[in-house]
Structure 1
Amino acid sequence: MNILKVLLSPLSIIYWMITLIRNIAFNLGLLKQYKSKTPVISIGNLSMGGTGKTPHVSYLTSLLSNYKVAIISRGYGRKRKDLIIADSKIHSTRDIGDEPMELLAKFEGDNFTMVVDGDRVKAIKRIEKEHAETQVIILDDGFQHRYVKRNLNLLLTDYNQLFYNDFIIPFGTLREPRKGVKRADAILVTKCRSFIDSKERAKIRTKLSKYSNSPVYFSKIGYEGFKNEKNKTINHNDSYLVVTGIAKPAPIFEYLKEQSIKYDSITFGDHHNFSTKDIKQIAKKSKPYKGIITTEKDWMRLKETKLKELCSVEIFRLQIGIHFLEDKDKLAFEKQINRLLK
């Protein structure tokens, strides 16, 4: 591994120079930014995925339930490349991606618009033209997309791989130099353990303060039970097959162990498009088990296959949510959001 890192280091230096020059160009106004009249909130990170963006976007959308909200996502893993204003009646995950579909399934309605396109400026202009009533726009994974000015820039960093311990890709997982954190209006340390003592939180805040003076909040993924179409429940005396296609499934396995739920697992890569062969494999392997456990994100893709037709067991979707470690963090974060929209 050390030899590989040495070999990759020149590529990291080149990538570092490219991103540095790009950021300087934005800072000097050489690359122009589009400013919308509608408030824009960006949620993103410095690293390559796995920081919990989608559940935080979901949390923020719920927080803004009294407003007309539009989310812009590039729709990672989708097959189409055109701009789509998503509609669950006519679009699939192949059209818009699993994460936009997950958000659409949760929030679709008169006060919600999901726009999928890699060009955030074009997407915002479409919202302004066709959904002028929108009161706030959320950029999903928007930290590096600087062609759009934002009113609030939220940066996520995984507690288990804090950006200040990471390096530029391909040597590490950072998309840009650490100094880019200066653009953040708030930093959320995500995927924390259930309890982090005040000394450790203070230590993390001190290290973060070398890069930014913005407020720091600590959040964790909360597991909130299982959803089943027939309202069936998990029986702790039975065994289940866990099917995941996400970046970091380990916390799910830890949760199931904590709940004394017996299981075996099949894991696929993040955003995996399940093939007919995959589905047949899952259906065959599920036969000895009482049911299949999967994530809501994976279910967005699995429900579009013949899994329900081919397997005879119940399917349970693990529900997750965002929880702040301290109530004062939650209140301060919500106050920062509300202040923007007043």
Structure 2
Amino acid sequence: MRIAVTGSIATDHLTFFPGRFTEQLLPDQLAHVSLSFLVDRLEVRRGGVAANIAFGLGGLGLDPLLIGAVGADFADHEVWLKEHGVDTGGVVVSAERHTARFMCTTDADANQIAAFYAGAMTEARTIDLTRLPVGPERLGLVVVAANDPVAMVRHTHQCRRLGIPFAADPSQQLATLDGAEARDLIEGARWLFTNEYEAALLREHTGWRTRDVLERVGTWITTLGERGVRIRRAADGLDLTVPAVADVPVVDPTGVGDAFRAGFLAATGWGLPVDCAARLGCALAAQSLSAVGSQTYDPASPALLATVARGYGSAMADQLAPHLEGIR
């Protein structure tokens, strides 16, 4: 199954604060916050949710098509993605703007404070899914990840009109969407991805209860951080929680959710059941969590299968081994 991934493509500026944000916030002064954190290092890395997901899928041998808008400064990032199995034929280059920037500070508890400059990403709304180098009829799934909001709405509508199954992954953009937009983006999705906070935000913005959301999507996948992932589906009453891989060193949480999505979608693309897909997603997330940057782990490393075996047993590793062994 050919997967297209739409969404942000960015350069990440990652800094690390050795203290705790919570210790710097005064409850009686939250209306007047003015803080500066002295950070101890800076990492400039390749990122963006669509690029991160595509990187993971490419490393697992799925030949994903990346769709998004970038600046002329994307050249090195593009070479990197191509070297890791990503088709960049759906990427457009802006003549006026730089590639988006993600600026994030992580504290000692892995909490993050971030800002995002959209830059060229605002031009993603001009991308037409019917004019890609890969015809819509060859796409088995389109991931609509966080992007220019107009682009997200356009690509969701095109998927419905063209009959292409899609995964809704609004993530960071939920904060900017009104209720009608949020409802529009998830209605009819085969997969809906959120983290726990985003799940609550989605219910608040849409005005829908959990049952209402489940009636409008195929399967809802909610990542729970160190507690793993919950998978719910109305059609058969599925309500499954898969634990995370235990005792993983926390080096950098940036892009961990994107790695999970890549592992989950790769496994479902291979025709594996969702419980197996969730375990592969959690194992890939563990690999990402142990590396600085969201595209520095190796999805095809033998260590991935070892992580599956350690976290979920040899039977699960044996089930995944035919798909993971010999990727490259």
Q: TM-score, normalised by structure 2?
A: 0.33
Q: Which has the larger radius of gyration?
A: 1
More helix by share: 2
Bigger relative contact order, structure 1 or 2 (CA pairs below 8 A, ≥6 apart): 1
